[in-house]
Amino acid sequence: MIEARKVQKLGNTSLVISLPKKWVNKLKLSQGDILYIKVEDDDTLRIFQHPLEEKKESEEKYIIYADKCDRPNLLERILTGCYILGYDNIVVKATGSRLSSNSLTEIRKAINRHTGIGILEQTPNMVILQCFIDVTRFPVTGMIKRMFTLIESMLELLKQSISERDEEALGEIFNIETEVNRLYWLGIRQLILSQKDWSFAKNVGVKSPLHILGNRVIIKSIESVGDAIEDMANAARKVFYFFEEDKDYTEKITSMIDELKEISALVQKALNKLDVIRANSVVDRVKKFRAIEEIKEISKSFVQCDAEAITSLVTILNRLIEAAKDFENIAEIVINRSLEEPSTPCTQIAK
């Protein structure tokens, strides 16, 4: 709730405003109490009752009652939610004498999915999890660059697996996708904590409150590309024989993978430099990539296939197109973000 306050003059030089009554009562303030004021980069003021405003969420414990998580994967998803919300201490309890084997399995799965979280203490009816990671060591821009690097490796392995029918390359795709997911969850955690505390945001390289939402879309888009590549790898495994028989289709698909790799590299450069020209080129190339006539031409190869093979081949084609769309989403954010400061095209128009 926003309240208006009139600035009053006190003495010859001081200007004052009154404090909201509800806030004063809630903090039990009285005359003579000391308050601390911090000027933020956006010129807003933050008023603290203590020198350090931090309530130290890391000292608080979040308790989950495992017995009430009686749906498959619900406990694992709640643990993921606690992780991304920034809870450092999570207690999973059983109301009975011991945690079920299913609960313990879901706890371990959650630990494996996320960076820096582990079991601090365990008893038959309780598990205490703690996040040990120093989040300031993982700036958001660094994580985004790392995710792009992993995606480029996955695309190269996908091309290799299709052109050479390489089973080992497919296996490595699944391993890398797990790492992409870990970075995704860690990135979301960083951004949510940034939204709660602007001083934290600056420590992890978030330059503006406007960037929090955009960074979340960027991280999600890259993670979605990873999911798409994983789906393509699963589909390719089922139709290795088709790639052996139809060299023309194989060549067209690997050519599309090469184009997607180039789009990935271009959008990363655009993001790093906030280059509106490169970002615009990405949007144009994605539209060409998704051209209907090209898709129809490739789809002609499916006529002689059985139903299962058609499903797998269509999956590969559709996921390629979806991945390109994810890169286009990032390019659109780059265009918008580049307008926060004067850029070459905008400066020329202004003149």
User: What is the torsion angle, in degrees rounded to the nearest 10, for the CA atoms of residue 318, residue 324, residue 330 and residue 331?
Assistant: -140
Classify burial at 123, counting beta carbons within 10 Å of its beta carbon; exposed 0-12, middle 13-18, buried 19 or more: exposed
Query: How confident is the model at residue 300, as a pLDDT?
Result: 60
Q: 58 pLDDT exceeds 50?
A: no
Per-residue pLDDT tens digits for 254-279: 999 999 999 999 999 999 999 999 99
Per-residue pLDDT tens digits for 216-246: 999 999 999 999 999 999 998 888 777 777 7
Third-level CATH fold of 138-339: Methane Monooxygenase Hydroxylase; Chain G, domain 1 (1.20.58)
Least confident of 116-120, 168-172, 251-255: 251-255
Question: Three-state secondary structure along the chain?
Answer: CCCCCCCEEECCCEEECCCCHHHHHHHCCCCCCCCEEEECCCCCEEEECCCCCCCCHHHCEEEEEHHHCCCCCHHHHHHHHHHHCCCCEEEEECCCCCCCHHHHHHHHHHHHHCCCEEEEEEECCEEEEEECCCHHHCCHHHHHHHHHHHHHHHHHHHHHHHHHCCHHHHHHHHHHHHHHHHHHHHHHHHHHHHHHCHHHHHHCCCCCCHHHHHHHHHHHHHHHHHHHHHHHHHHHHHCHHHHHHCHHHHHHHHHHHHHHHHHHHHHHHHHHHCCHHHHHHHHHHHHHHCCHHHHHHHHHHHCCCCHHHHHHHHHHHHHHHHHHHHHHHHHHHHHHHHCCCCCHHHHHHHC
Third-level CATH fold of 8-48: Pemi-like Protein 1; Chain: D (2.10.260)
Domains of the chain, residue spans: 8-48, 57-131, 138-339
Least confident of 192-196, 212-216, 295-299, 315-319: 295-299
Q: 350 pLDDT exceeds 50?
A: no
Please tell me the distance from the alpha carbon of residue 261 to that of residue 281, in angstroms, as a whole number: 14
- At the top level of CATH, which class does the domain 57-131 belong to? alpha beta
Task: Please give the average per-residue pLDDT across 154-172, as a whole number.
Answer: 91
Which among 206, 179, 210 has a CA at the least distance from the CA of 191? Answer: 206
Query: How confident is the model at residue 196, as a pLDDT?
Result: 83
Percent of the chain at pLDDT exceeding 70? 89
